[in-house]
Each structure stands twice: as structure tokens, then as C-alpha cells.
Amino acid sequence: MFSLKNKTAAITGAASGIGRAVAIAFAGQGAAVHLLDLNADALVEVVSEIKNAGDNAVPHQLDVVKQVAVKTVFENIANVDLLVNCAGISNIGKADNTSEADFDRVFQVNVKGIYNCLHEVIPYMQKNKSGVIINMASIANHVGLQDRFAYSMSKGAVLGMTLSVARDYIADGIRCNCVSPARVHTPFVDNFIAKNYPGKEKEMFEKLSASQPIGRMAKPEEVASLIVYLCSDEASFITGCDYPIDGGFINLNN
């Protein structure tokens, strides 16, 4: 079950965190994996890890904000069966204290970056009359998160893009869903805490972990397992859906 053999997969943000876990999981399930990320050194490390496990992967250094660069990368990959949009950034701030520069930066990466990839990949999928797209959304689609104005804006847009793509291309055999994690323990989280709460790292990590009713953050591999399922033939009847993976955050926090 959940085999991805004979599938070509492209994963953005694949050098770390959830994207890295997805790339490793997809390679393990037999997909030909293409890793897209801005961090060239980290890409080399992940590709080496995948090859050491006996699987294959191809790195592509890419800034998803730049449409011409995105077009070039996908022209080189050619036929993409599976697209997973994991590249993204966060930002702390409310509507009145988020700077225009920070707002624009979050929008460019989290919204335009996904648009750029959709814009280039969908024609290949239309030609093949098949394909699966997974976009990385967030629990911010469902609940108000304090001091996350720009981030929440961007993830709401991801949900909207997901539903639109699912509807527009259903007759082309393309499925599109999104995944909405709560907090996931990645290097991004550790760096985020260190940057914004210096000297209080342990306290903040415990506080953020406890905000999930299940009592901990998710592991990147747990999110990757859900994405493997959604991209597999076993999920062939699923499209236009958002999947919270949140340790009870949305429904059990009172």
C-alpha cells in the first residue's frame, strides 16, 4: 500500500523540516524525488542521506518567489506527477505593527511561491490527465493565532488556492488537497524560539508544546506520512480537502 513507484515528485522547502521528511518518505516509497530549496548546502545533505538509504534524489537550488527560475526548474524536471509545496516562512506581528516589508515578504514566499509552482506544474499534469498537489496550510486557517497576522493571511490564501485548483482541474484528473499542521518540531521552530525569546528557550518550547492537547509538537515524519497517503492511489477519491494534523488543537482547546 501507499506505493509511489513510477511517480516523479517535486517538493519545495525540501532541505529541512517537513519538506525534508516528505522527500525522504517519498523516496522510500519508490518515487523519483526532486528536492527544491534555496539552501544549496542543506539540499546536498538531504540528497546524500536519501542516496545512502539506497534511494534516488535530485537537488535543485530554487527561490520559489522568482517565477522565471521556477519555470526553468520545472522545464528541466519535465513531467511532475506529485507536487508538494512546503516552502514557507513565518512572522510575528499584529495588523498594526506588521511592517509593509514583512507583510510583502510573507506573501511573496507563502502565497506567490505556491502560485508560481502551480502555474508551471499544472500544464504538465493536464497533459498527462493526472496528478496530485499538496499545499502546506496551517491551523491558522481555522483559529485565530495571536501575533500571527501576516502568517495567518498567507495560510488562508493557501486554503483558498487549494480549493480553487481542486475545482478547476478535477476534470483533468488532478487532485489537490492541503495539510494544516499545528506546531511541528523542526529546526525552524528551534531557531524561531532562539531568535524571539532569547534566554527563555526551554520555557517557550515547553509552552508551545503544551498548547497541543496531546501534550507535544508533531514530528515532521508524522506530517510526511499523511502526505504520502494523500498522494497515493489509496487516496484517489480525495480532493478539495484540508487535513488538520494538530494533536487536538482545533477541536479540543477550550
Helix (H, G, I), strand (E, B) or coil at 36: strand
Band (pLDDT 50/70/90 cuts) for residue 254 is low
Q: Where in the chain is the domain with CATH 3.40.50.720?
A: 8-182+219-248
Give the CA angle between residues 82, 17, 193 to the nearest 5°.
150
The residues annotated with a catalytic role in the active site are 151
Across-strand partners of 84? Answer: 11, 134
Rounded to the nearest integer, the mean pLDDT of the chain is 96
Give the per-residue pLDDT at 35. Answer: 98
Report which of 124, 9, 112, 133 is spatially closest to residue 64, judged by C-alpha positions: 112
Contact at 8 Å (CB) between 245 and 226?
yes
What is the fold of 8-182+219-248? Rossmann fold (3.40.50)
Which amino acid would we find at residue 24?
A: I
pLDDT at 87 over 90: yes
Report which of 183, 163, 83, 181 is spatially closest to residue 123, judged by C-alpha positions: 83
Q: What gap in Å lies between CA 181 and CA 84, rounded to an integer?
A: 14
Element (H, E) at 85: strand 82-85
pTM of the model: 0.96
Instruction: For residue range 164-203, list pLDDT tens digits in order.
Output: 999 999 999 999 999 999 999 998 889 888 988 899 999 9
pLDDT average, residue stretch 205-214: 94
The DSSP annotation for 111-164 comes to IIHHHHHHHHHHHHHHHHT-EEEEEE--GGGTSPPTTBHHHHHHHHHHHHHHHH
Instruction: For residue range 17-52, list pLDDT tens digits in order.
Output: 999 999 999 999 999 999 999 999 999 999 999 999
pLDDT average, residue stretch 83-90: 96
Q: What gap in Å lies between CA 174 and CA 5, rounded to an integer?
A: 18
